[in-house]
Every structure is written in structure tokens, then in C-alpha cells.
Amino acid sequence: MSEESETPAPDVVSDNRLRLDAPYMKTFFSLLANTLLVSLINFTVWFAITFYVFLQTRSVFAAAMISGIYLVATALTGIWFGSLIDHHSKNDAAAFGGVLVGDVRGRAGVVLDNPRGASSATSPHRRSWISAQYGSSSKTRLLVGP
């Protein structure tokens, strides 16, 4: 065997390394930061919902059910939603998602604003969230109701 080295030259090895200052890495770091921010906000909202349920019910079981629903929903929908983004144009998927979220929020607002039906909208016993919290009673109420 000859004494020639079978390992690549040092400058070839350095070219195969990941360069953090490359132009495409700016996009990667932007996406990484965006994902971190969205995940943090999502976790915080679900924790707030779980904690609110615990404070209202004083039931660890109810809080565990909310946490379990979050865990299962995230696990079951994550890959499917990711495949939708990969399969379709990202702009089309974002536009459809925005319309869908707006529709769901609008429908939820109508239901939550008037849970007893249209006839109770003029009822004197109907309370909104603000009047339930800051109404004429001396106690602060957190639940909607007469």
C-alpha cells in the first residue's frame, strides 16, 4: 500500500461543515424562533385553561382531563396538520386556516354571548361577563347566570 492518505484534505472537511452564517440559516433561525414563540404561547394558554378549571372545580381529575385532552389533541393532529402544510401551498393553507379560525371564533362568540337562545337576549336576568364580574352585587362572580 502506498503512504498516500485516504482521508480527505482538511479544506474539504471544513466545506462540509454547517455554516451558521450562511444566508439560508437566517430563514432557519427565523422559523425556529417563530416555532418556539408559538409553542410557548400555546402551552401557556392551555396551562391557563387547566388552572382555571382546577380553580373553579377544585378537582384534580377535571384538570387532568383537560391536560389529557390537550396531549391527545396535539399528538393526533400535529402530523396531519403538518402534512397539509407540506402538501399544499403555504399561503393557501394559512389563508384557509385564518378563515376557519375566524369562523369558529365567530360561532363560539354567538353561542357564548347568548347561551339560552334569542328570547333571553332581552331578559333582565341575562348577565354578560362584565356585569357578572362588576355588577351591583358586592361579591365578584365569575360564572354567567342569573
Domain ranges of the chain: 10-116+125-134
pLDDT tens-digit readout, 42-78: 889 989 999 999 999 999 999 999 889 988 988 888 8
- Give ∠ CA 142-143-146 in degrees, rounded to 5: 125
d(Cα 42, Cα 36) in Å, to the nearest integer?
10
**Which phi and psi angles does 126 have, rounded to 5°?**
-70, 135
More confident residue, 130 or 112: 112
Burial annotation 43-61 (CB, 10 A radius, 16+ → b, else e) = eeebeeebeebbeeeeeee
